[in-house]
Amino acid sequence: MIRTILFKIILGIYFVLWSPILLIGLISARLTRFLIITCAMGVLGLARIIAGIKYVVHFPPTEENGVPFAPNGNIRLDGKAIIASKHMSIMEVAILVTRVPNSFFIIKRELLWIPIYGWAFWRMGLQGVNRARGATNMHKLTNAVAKKIMDGMVLIIFPEGTRAKPGRKIPLRRGLLFLAHELKLPILPVGTDTGLYWPKRGRMHSGTANIWFEPMLPCNASLDEISTSINRHSA
């Protein structure tokens, strides 16, 4: 528990120290993205050094002998798919933003109001959503997402809508299906077990967390198919 408390204290200080740097970075969207990615790499480094949490990213095989995709050669990370990831902790957010080039997330619009960090999220292209607006908002969201994808960005979405505890399956939100159908984009499921090591609350545990990129699903895949894929390896 001492290691967990120490990590959270140092992480808080780390975020405070990054604030003025991010504020300066707001002059440029490209610079802001670089600084956010660098900050995320630092978070992963602190998790490894202080909490003893490493991670491994797994890609599906492309040949019978099991040769995996290289991270920079995975054609499914080129923006022509919606990446739908299980959400268990901050860790997979940091991993995905550092491993998927030019990515953006759909987040609650309130997060964009956070001083400095929220502004940086907006500057790098994260898309805020007002969940209370219903169908009208979904059409506006689809148009905004389509524009970003046309500009070469890659959408990462957490279809559960919240962080899940290990062993818990949360019903997926239908917004993912609406976006995939309207944009005619296949879905790339991503599973993870980061919650075993960096839980939403409580003690952190040393070990090696995993991120699994699953085989592609068509844009008309069902919520059950997507849920099965992102929960395939989850504890």
State the Rg of the chain over Cα. 17
- Residues above pLDDT 90, as percent of the chain: 48
pLDDT per position as a tens digit, 46-80:
999 999 999 999 887 665 554 444 443 444 445 57
pTM for this model (two decimals): 0.85
Segment 181-208 shows an average pLDDT of 90
Say if residues 186 and 216 touch (Cβ distance below 8 Å): yes
Instruction: At 232, give phi and psi (nearest 5°).
Output: -55, -40
- Residues above pLDDT 70, as percent of the chain: 89
Count of all residues that appear for the chain in the document: 235
